[in-house]
Amino acid sequence: MKLASVKLEERWDKDLLKLISRGNASGGFMADITFIVDTGCQFSGISGLIDSFTIANRWHATNTGDWSEPLFTTRILSQDGQAVKVSGGFQVLPEGAFRDSQQTDVVIVPPYLPSADLLPANATSLLDWIVARYDQGVTIASVCTGSFVLAETGLLDGRLATTHWFYSKLFKRRYPKVLLEPDRVLTRDKGLICSGSVSAFYYLGLHLIESFGSSHLAAQCSKSLLVDPGKASQSPYAVFNVHKGHGDQEILRAQELIEAHFADAISMKDLAREVGISPRHFIRRFKKATDETPLSYLQQVRIERAKDCLETSLETVNEITQGIGYENSSSFRKLFKEATGLSPSEYRSRFTRGDGAASSGTRDPSACAVLKTWRSRKA
């Protein structure tokens, strides 16, 4: 379902200049933000953004001494203006129907994670409406998997986008024309803004606060919200998304063998023979079933086990390196950095679980199950 007409990008730029010319006397320029809700959508991104804009309004008024009008106005619209049951089972009463609304500055689309295809029910009218607003020069933004809605319109074809890291492979398969950058927390390309996994809505909010207000206002809000504005990547937070619902029993067996023996020296030829597939066809079938080569799968399993050790134990990086099947800690550090964007020590510092015991020296240094198994094999 591709609905986007040919975009008049010069028109979009001219309409943006009109918006900027509406600036108020106290600095910044007022923005009307429209949120779309539909059955099953996740409401946390909407409520969190509304709170962010409310905080921005208060800081703006405090800075300027002008409490007469807010910098941001927000409204929630549904397809027909009726109450909507969102994720979590509670109802949201919108202010009206989006089909009756043509004037706004920013449209924000929430995620539809409970939906089987990550799209709202009866999406056609919403997609048409989004395209019409974009052609008027309205900024269109998405939270998390709301990017699937934007991509479904065709507006993102040939444009930068991001989405929740867990759904990045599905997104790439479904929308190959989109320039997806799943590591990014936020992307912006010609009036189309995408934010990453759910809590990345804070970065979308800060971006809009800076765009309509100022960098100083955005800094004040980031401190109020305890949001680090410097976070630019989702990579440290991504978990290897293991796909086992492909129906290929031989490849499923190969996956299980890799996961059980990841710390051993695994020969792909031996693995292929173990599951009854010729080495010649094994890699092709494995890639088709899992979207990964066997070697990439092994590396990612090892990285996930290393993360667990870094989060829960005091083992040294060299010990973890050997425990997950690598002999050279330099090679492991390089692979880990490529996968997460952080060094092992940086990762440990950020993701130590519980009360910080792993970094304070009070946690059992042999708590990592991976290394317990490795030591028992050596003994």
Compare 4 and 186 and report the one with higher pLDDT. 186
The reported pLDDT for the residue numbered 327 is 87
**SS3 assignment, position 58:** helix
Q: What Å distances lie between residue 113 and 80, 143, 164, 167, 195, CA to CA? A: 21, 11, 10, 10, 15
41 is catalytic: no
CB-CB contact of 61 with 220 (8 Å): no
What is the band of 117 on the pLDDT scale with cuts at 50, 70, 90?
low
Which tokens go with 117? 């295809």
In the predicted structure, residue 363 carries a pLDDT above the cut 50? no
143 φ/ψ sector (left φ>0, alpha ψ -120 to 50, else beta):
beta
d(CA 270, CA 181): 35
Compare 197 and 105 and report the one with higher pLDDT. 105
Which secondary-structure segment (H or E) carries 194?
strand 192-195
Residue type, 178: V
Q: Would you list the DSSP string of 62-111?
A: HHHS--SS-SEEEEEEESSSS-EE-TTS-EE--SEEGGG----SEEEEPP
Compare 112 and 153 and report the one with higher pLDDT. 153
Strand partners, 99: none
> What residue has token string 């607003």?
133
Count other C-beta atoms under 10 Å from residue 169's C-beta. 16
Count other C-beta atoms under 10 Å from residue 228's C-beta. 10
34 φ/ψ sector (left φ>0, alpha ψ -120 to 50, else beta):
beta
d(CA 41, CA 87): 5
The reported pLDDT for the residue numbered 377 is 55
Average pLDDT over residues 87-91: 87
CB-CB contact of 300 with 258 (8 Å): no
Q: Would you list the DSSP string of 207-249?
A: HHHHHHT-HHHHHHHHHHHT--TT--BSGGG--------S--H
Q: In whole numbers, what is the pLDDT of the chain averaged over residues? A: 85
Which tokens go with 43? 């409401």
What is the band of 66 on the pLDDT scale with cuts at 50, 70, 90?
confident
Nearest alpha carbon to residue 305 among 273, 354, 339: 339
The reported pLDDT for the residue numbered 59 is 96
Domains and CATH numbers, the chain: 9-237 (3.40.50.880), 249-378 (1.10.10.60)
pLDDT digits (tens, 9 = 90+) for 11-64: 444 444 444 444 444 455 789 999 999 888 889 999 999 999 999 999 999 998
d(CA 38, CA 119): 10
pLDDT digits (tens, 9 = 90+) for 215-265: 999 999 999 998 887 777 888 888 888 888 899 999 999 999 999 999 998
In the predicted structure, residue 277 carries a pLDDT above the cut 70? yes
Nearest alpha carbon to residue 78 among 136, 111, 120: 120
Question: Strands of 106-109's sheet, edge to edge?
Answer: 96-97, 72-78, 31-36, 106-109, 139-142, 192-195, 186-189
> What residue has token string 């619902």?
245
Q: Measured between alpha carbons, how far apart are the two ends of the chain, in Å?
A: 60
Compare 22 and 207 and report the one with higher pLDDT. 207
In the predicted structure, residue 2 carries a pLDDT above the cut 50? no
Compare 150 and 99 and report the one with higher pLDDT. 150
Show the CA angle centred on residue 73, arms to residues 194 and 139, nearest 5°: 30
Count other C-beta atoms under 10 Å from residue 39's C-beta. 16
In the predicted structure, residue 355 carries a pLDDT above the cut 60? no
d(CA 129, CA 231): 33
Sign, CA torsion 221/224/226/228: positive
In the predicted structure, residue 1 carries a pLDDT above the cut 50? no
The reported pLDDT for the residue numbered 116 is 55
Most confident residue range from 88-92, 208-212, 309-313: 208-212
d(CA 296, CA 306): 15
235 CA to centre of own chain:
9
Radius of gyration of the chain (CA): 24
The reported pLDDT for the residue numbered 232 is 73
Count other C-beta atoms under 10 Å from residue 301's C-beta. 22
Strands 186-189 and 192-195, sheet pairing:
antiparallel
In the predicted structure, residue 93 carries a pLDDT above the cut 80? yes
Kindly name the residue from 41, 144, 194, 368 that is annotated as catalytic. 144
Nearest alpha carbon to residue 199 among 155, 165, 240: 165
